[in-house]
Structure 1
Amino acid sequence: MDDQALSNAIADPRTYADMARYHEIFSTLRREAPIRWTEPEGYRPFWTVSRYSDVVEIERQQKLFINAPRTALRSVVEEEQIRAVTGSTQASHTLIQMDDPEHKKYRMLTQSWFMPPALKAMHEQLTGLASTFVDRMETFGGRCDFARDIAVWYPLRAVMLLLGVPEEDEPLMLRLTQQHFAGNDPEVNGGEAVDAGAAAKQVFAYFTELTEKRRADPREDIVSLLANAEVDGQPISDFDRNSYYFVVALAGHDTTSSSTAGLLDALLRHPEQLAKLREDPSLLDLAIDEGIRWTSPVRHFFRTATEDYEIGGQTIRAGDSLMMCYPSANFDDDAFDAPHEFRVDRKPNRHIAFGFGVHQCLGQHLAKMEMRALFGELLRRIDWIEATGDAQLLETNFVGGIKSLPIRYRMLAPQPA
């Protein structure tokens, strides 16, 4: 592969739908060009950062490497579509696009909602929700597409409960999520390019209407909280408020959905690990972390250098963009013992699938709690389970994972009360 072809492959959404190819490319990068200047056709250039240690070094220095100028890899065409709607190349102004001190102030608005003490109040709800979705599997006659039928809808319902979005609006939220994160996937876009700016506009229009409803009829949910939120004594702007909903609704759902399907796929492809987990359910928390590492649904985020900086034998200039490649970092031989082995008892497991530093994912505890509830219920009630075809992945270079996972299974007979 020549230099231009490699640059194009790094940006190509199709690379991320074939993780064997992805890992072949990025293992070579970690070994031969861990900090690589990359100029894909149709994109602004950037440095590709593929090693675990380099990603951590960059992300722990929040003043030297900032989020605001460029957050994710978008084509020049997509950036112009977004600029036509928002006035910048950013589709929204969320915690992901913010730097301190602004980032800290906005994160504090909802941080307590996502911490373990507050999430304990959701435990019963999530347990009941998990049971409902395993009940749903009972109705499918022993066959389903786990990704489409369960993994997509279960975390969506959980995060919509937290936000306060009505259940009947979930199909709309799912469509907007997929358009935002996987607009390049032919199955998502129907063979036509998704207008990134128009997709963001639809999300904002929906949440503007919901905000007005919650101001008139407040409830115990995040939409009601943010409807009247203030920062520095001033109401937050409509754009910032809608952006906040945007990141909670979309990012909070899609990453967990991908990790949920990814964990089951890994267990089915490694039946000895599934057997080990079933024999010792106390390994579930470790297995969930391993599933998240294995899947690494956030394929990248960007940082922008504020000063010249030396790293990995390269000089990064002020203003340069850097692409943090999380799946690559999470399969780095220098950071993990035998990273290409899936182990339900992996410990330690210092993966950075949730990021690192001040921008570490706000919803990580909720995501693990959702997965714990679902897999705890599923493993308790399933007799046997196997894949009936290969998993299919979304074509997206940003956030994604398995879009189809056909399975067959037999549930255990209900135990008498």
Structure 2
Amino acid sequence: MSAVAKAPADIAAAVIDPSAYAEWDSLLDKFDVLRRDMPVALIENGDLHDPFWLVTGYDDVMRISKDNATFLNNPRGVLFGFREGEEMIKTITGGSPHLVNSLVALDAPKHPKYRRLTQEWFMPQNLKQLEAEIGLLAKATVDRLVESGTEADFVPLVSAPYPLHVVMQILGVPEEDEQRMLFLTQQMFGGQDEDLSKTGVPNMTVEQTTQLVVGAVADFEAYFARLTQEKRANPTDDVASVIANAKVDDEYLSDRDMAGYYIIVASAGHDTTSASTAGAMMALAQDPEQFQRLKANRDLLPGIVEEAIRWTSPVQHFMRTAAKDVEVGGVIVKEGDWLMINYVAANHDARIFENPRKFNAARSPNRHLAFGAGAHQCLGLHMARMEMKILFNELLDRIETVELAGEPKRAKSSFVGGLKTLPLRYTLSK
């Protein structure tokens, strides 16, 4: 790897530190420095992890996201990992750097074949048929908020259970198993946070965190192995039946590939929408005028949703591997080099987004990168937008005013992040 544009030690440590992502403004300050001084910066931290190039500029992240021939997902980890944890994963998987062999870990020609299996399920014309059912789920969710009084933590009461329930209905997971799915998702994505992991242990070692995530994945795999048997014996009209009975090149998916497919739908399908939903509600609670404008004019809802997704950037990074020598941001990246495309940094690039830290529902255009771009763009982006619009329509009908009732807290996580608490005080509409 070319030893140029090396990031300062404090920044190199922060971009891989889960706790740094809980200190949002401080992290954004560091990204601003990098984007100005070295938009493609070498990140080294001794022997803790392999060196990699951190890419913070919007244009560079967009280019890498779209060029799947030059920047590969599969050869190395698609998520940042410490060497100790990576070695543990390779031991478990028999040499693969991917603990979960999901869509995000695949390259062409395998990736497009697998993506096509469920793509139709998540297209607008199919989702349109689910609007009424999702509307009922949104109403039941807001009922709980209303019944709780005039103060509540929005995350566990609304923004976490609502998208979870939606995606489990689509997937075909029974309602009684939803809390288990939430628990495992939080251990897998939030294993670095003592509250989300339910361990109560801050600053766990790499070994402890990896063991926690490995255990969650194993539990997911065992659950979906049983679901596969059920859906092959008695297929129903849901995504789990599609995955269980799908064939690629005339063969069923391997157990590992099938488990990866289930896990990405079951986990990423709700955790990211939860983060964006909570982010939007926090922004509205901090800006009463914007909340009232939205109540009066629901045509503003798409802008609120889109800005919330940019502003929160729930998927905070992915890693890519260079397939050949290539120039990125004035730096020569060598074949085999590892790169981090950081969506938080790209979505706060002031050259693209004026005053990026301000939540601006009227922002236009808003070509954010929170869903990625190109062949690996988020499969569930249409569903996420629809879910949020339906929920906020219901909330706006039932809530008259809203404000913060305490300090919101963000998750300690370098991969999928967002608010873990959002205390609100609100009045109900007459």
> What TM-score do you get using the length of structure 1 for normalisation?
0.96
8 Å contact from structure 1 (residues 84, 197) kept in 2? no
Partner of 1:288: 305
The alpha-carbon deviation at position 202 of structure 1 amounts to 1.2
Distance 1:220 1:78 in 2: 39
Partner of 1:12: 17
The alpha-carbon deviation at position 132 of structure 1 amounts to 0.5
Which residues of 2 match residues 256-335 of structure 1 at below 5 A?
256-335=273-352
Q: 1:56 aligns with which of 57, 62, 70?
A: 62
Distance 2:193 2:332 in 1: 35
CA offsets, 1:363-396, max 9 Å, x none?
0000011101100100111111111011101100
1:243 aligned onto 2:253: no
1:123 aligned onto 2:127: no
1:152 aligned onto 2:152: no
Distance 2:12 2:357 in 1: 24
Partner of 2:81: 74
Q: Which runs of 4+ in 1 moved over 4 A?
A: none
Distance 1:178 1:233 in 2: 35
Which residues of 2 match residues 4-403 of structure 1 at below 5 A?
4-41=9-46, 42-69=48-75, 70-87=77-94, 88-187=96-195, 188=197, 189-191=199-201, 192=204, 193-194=208-209, 195=211, 196-403=213-420
Which AA in structure 2 matches 1:25?
A: K
8 Å contact from structure 2 (residues 288, 401) kept in 1? no
Partner of 2:3: none
CA offsets, 1:202-228, max 9 Å, x none?
111110011111122211111111111
SS in 1 for 2:80: coil
The alpha-carbon deviation at position 81 of structure 1 amounts to 2.8
SS in 2 for 1:11: coil
SS in 2 for 1:16: helix
Distance 2:147 2:348 in 1: 38
> What TM-score do you get using the length of structure 2 for normalisation?
0.94
Percent of aligned pairs sharing the same letter: 44
The alpha-carbon deviation at position 170 of structure 1 amounts to 1.1
8 Å contact from structure 1 (residues 86, 92) kept in 2? no
**Coordinate RMSD, CA, aligned:** 1.4
Distance 1:176 1:91 in 2: 15
Which AA in structure 2 matches 1:352?
A: L
The alpha-carbon deviation at position 199 of structure 1 amounts to 2.0
The alpha-carbon deviation at position 119 of structure 1 amounts to 0.4
Distance 2:282 2:91 in 1: 40
Q: Give unmatched runs, 5+ long, in structure 1.
A: none
The alpha-carbon deviation at position 315 of structure 1 amounts to 0.6
CA offsets, 1:73-111, max 9 Å, x none?
122222233223222221111110011111100000000
Greater shift in the superposed pair: 249-258 or 2-11: 2-11
Aligned residues: 413
Distance 2:373 2:167 in 1: 22
Q: Give unmatched runs, 5+ long, in structure 2.
A: 1-6
